[in-house]
Structure 1
Amino acid sequence: MGNNKLTPNSYGKYSALEGDEVRIIGWAEDSDNDIEQLTHLWTPDADENGNPEITQSSVGAESTITYTYTTSGIHLATLVVTDDDGESTETLTVPIEILNVVPMINPIAPPLPVAEDGEIQITASVWDTSSDLESLQNCYDTNPTINSDGEGTEIDDCDFEGLTFVGSWNDAQNAPSSIVFHTTDDDGEMVYAEIPIVVNNVKPSAHAMIDNANPTEGDAVYLSANLTTDSTFDLENMLYVWDLDTSSDSDGDGIKDNDEDATGIWFEWHFDSPGKRTVKMTASDEDTSDSFTFTVSVVEKPFSFGELLGGGEMILILIVVIASLGGILVMRLRKPSDLVEAPVGARVSRISMDDAFDDVDYDPFSDDEEKRKVRKTGNDENKVINNETTDDNDPQRKEEPVMEEAPTIQMTELDHQYEKASEPKQDLDEALGDLLGDESDSSEEE
C-alpha cells in the first residue's frame, strides 16, 4: 500500500483501509529454463462476495498488482503460477481485511438570525472514500429534542434529506435552538454536527380603523384591526384588546388606557353618548405587543317625535286623549231624537240606587207605567214602590211614598244646536264649524 508495507498479524491476515490502493507482489521458484516463462494469475478479490471475475496476469519470476477495495470486510486475493509446460502451483490465498473509513463533516458556519417566517439556508459538505461518497445518506434533524421516527435517538431523525437545508419557522416560541446534520455510510457509520439557529419573534404592527369616525349617538359602527401585520402563526393567534375611551378607567385599576372594553379582530359597537373620545387597540402575540389609537367624534342624536311616541306611556296617554275627544264629539253630534222627554204625569220618588240597578226592567223614561216603578228585592219579591202590587185591604201595610211625576227634561240652547246639527240636510263639516265657531265666540267673550 504505497510505501507502507503491510504486515500480517499472527493469523497471516493483512489489513488496509477502505478505498486505499493495495499493491501486492508475488514470486515463484522454478528451473533456470522456466523461471522467466512463469505466468502469474491474480484474482485480487476472489471471495464470492467480491469480484471473482476480475483477474490480473503477468509473466516472469515476479508479479505485481494494484487493487482498491471499496467495501469493508475480509477480502481474499489469490495467486496461481503456471510454467510453460502447463504445470501450476497450488492456489495461494492472501486474506486482507479492509477497514471501513468513517465519513467526515466539514465545519458548518451557523446561519444568521432570522425573524419568524424568515428563510434559513444551510449547506453542509462531507468527505468519505470515493466509493462511499455517492452512497452517503445526508439528513437534517430539525427538532433534536424529539425522536420523531421512534428509532435510534433524538438526533438521528431524517426530517430533511440532502446536503442543503432550506426552511423557516413561523413561531419563535416553538423554533428549536439548533438543528442537527448527520451523514451515514453504507456500513451504518454515522457522524453528526449540531448547528445553532436563532429565530426571533416578530413584533406585531398594530393598525385599527372604524367605518364611520363621526357617527350619530346610538348608530352602529364597525371597528376592525384587519390591517395589523405579524408572522402567519402569530396573526392566527393574535389577541386584540380595545379600550373604547382612554379617558375613562372602566376596569377601575387606576390606568385609563388599558381597559378591555371589547376583544376581537372586528366587532360592532354603539356609542351611547355624544362627544369626542380616543379609541385604543392593542395587538399582542406571545411575547410582544403594539398599540394603535384614533379619535371618534360622536354627534348628539337629534330630537325625534317619532321616538317620543314610541314609548309605552305616551301611547297610553294618546289613547286616553283620543277616547276623551271621541266621547265629546259623539255627545256633540247626537241627534235630538236621542234626547228623551219624561212622560207627563210621571212622579218623582226617592228610589234606592241599589234597587234601581237590581231591577232589570226599571226604565224611568218608559211610557209603560209599570216599568217606571222599581221592584224591591228582598224577602218580598212582589213588593213594588207606590204599593201598587200590595193588598189595599191590609190594615198593617205601611203607606209607601207616592211617586211624584218625573220632571220633563228641558232642552237647552246647546241641545237645540245639536238638533240643528243632526238634520239630514246639514253637512257634518258645517256642524263642526258651527260648534267651533260658538266656542271661539265664547272664548272671546270671556
Structure 2
Amino acid sequence: MVFTPGPSDPFIEFMRPPPDETPAQATARMKRELDAQRRSDAIDESIKRERDQAKKDKNVIKVLLLGQSESGKSTTLKNFRMRYSRDDWEKERNGWRAVVQLNIVRSITTILSVMESELNGDSSAQSDEEEATLVQPDESNDTRFTERHQLLMIRLAPLRGVEAELKRRLGAGSEPVHPTLHMSATPFEAENDAVVSNLRRASPEFAVRSWRDVLDPEGRPLHTENTPADLDSVSDIIAGCKDDMKALWDDRCVRAALRRRKLRLPDSAGFFLNDLDRIASRDYVVSDNDIVRARLRTVGIQEHRLRFRHGPFDNPKEKARKLAGNGGYSTWEAAVLLFRAAWLPFFDNVNVIIFLSPVSVFDQRLEEDPRVNRLEDSIILWTSICQSKLLAKTQLILFLNKCDLLRRKLKRGVQVKAFLPSYGNRPNDVIPVVKCATFILACFTILWAD
C-alpha cells in the first residue's frame, strides 16, 4: 500500500515554497536544499562504511605492542611480519638496504666524533650509562692515538657525506627526534633546569613516522633491481671504505676511547660492523636477519595488519564458523599497534597486549629522563597497564627480552645489586641469566597479581 499525503499534511505545508518567493530566493533555496541533501548522503555513506568496517572487525584481533624506547617492539613486529606477511616482507626487502647502510655509516661517524673529541682534548663523557655491550675490554695499555688513526679519520671522512645522502633518501616521513621529558609516559617529577638543559644539548636521532613512508614512498622500494648496485655512489663509497672501517672497529685504542666516553652504540652496531665483508660490498643483498637487526626509529602510533591462515589465533569453534564463509580456510587479521601507555584511553577494545621489557637495561637510564632507571620505567609502565580498568578484560603477555645482552653484561662482571638493591646477595655468577631474569619476572608477577 502506498501512502499518499493529503493536502493538509503539515510536512508538505512546511516544505512548500513561500507564495511570494522571487526567482533569486528560489535559486538560493534550491541550493541550500541541494547542499543539505549532499551532507545527508555523506552522513549515510559514512554510517554505511562504519557498519561495513564493524562487520570486518569481527574477525580482527587487535594486538598492542607496548614498551619503552629500544625495548624491542619493532623487532617483534618484524618477526610477526616475516612469518605471517611474507609477500609484503619480500617487496620491502631491497628498501632496507639504505637503512642497513645508514646503521653502519652512523656507527662509524659516531666513533669518528669520539676520536675528534679525544684528539681535541675534550674530556667530557657523552653518556652516564655503562659502556656498550658490544665494546669489549682489551688488555692493551697503549691507548694513544697516532698518525695512523688520523689517517683513518681522513680516509673515512667521506662517510659523513654518505650519511647525509642516506638520510635524504630516507627523508620521506622522517623527522629528527630530540629527547624530551614529555616523550615519556611515566609520571616523573617536575622538570629541573639541569635536566632540561642536558636534553636540549642532546643530538637528535633520525626517525621516521612509518616504515611505509620510507620503504615504499611511491609504490616501489628505494633501491630496486632497475638501479644496479655498481651505479650506486653510496654503495661505491661504502665498499671503498670497507677495509678502513674494519681497521677502525678492530682498533684497541678506539675501543678504549669508547669505553672512556661510556658510549653505548645501538645493539645492532656490532652485528653489522662485525660483518662488513658481506655488507660493505657493491652487490650486497639484504638478508632476513639484517632486516630484523636494522634500527630505524619510529615515532607515534603505527598500525600493521597481518593475515593469519591457520595461525596462532585460531580457535576450533571459530575456525569452523570461518570455514563456511572464507573459501575453505579460516582467516584472522591482527591489527598490531606500537605506542606508549600515554595513549591507553584510545584503545579500550584491544584484545591482546604484548608488553616488552628488556632485562639487560638494569644499569641504564632513560634517554628521555636521565634520572630514571630503564628497568624501573618498565615496571612503572607495567603497573599502569595492570591497573587500567579499560584493559581489565585484555589478555596480557609479558616478554622479558634481550637476555643475550644480559648474559654478556653479567659475564663482564657488572653487579646487579649495584643498580637493583632489592637483588640483595643473590649470586651474580652462578647461572646468572636465569637467576637474574627470574628475579625480574617475580617483580612483574607481583605487580600483576596485585
Q: Given the two structures, how large is their TM-score scaled by the length of structure 1? A: 0.15
* Greater radius of gyration (CA): 1
Higher helix share: 2
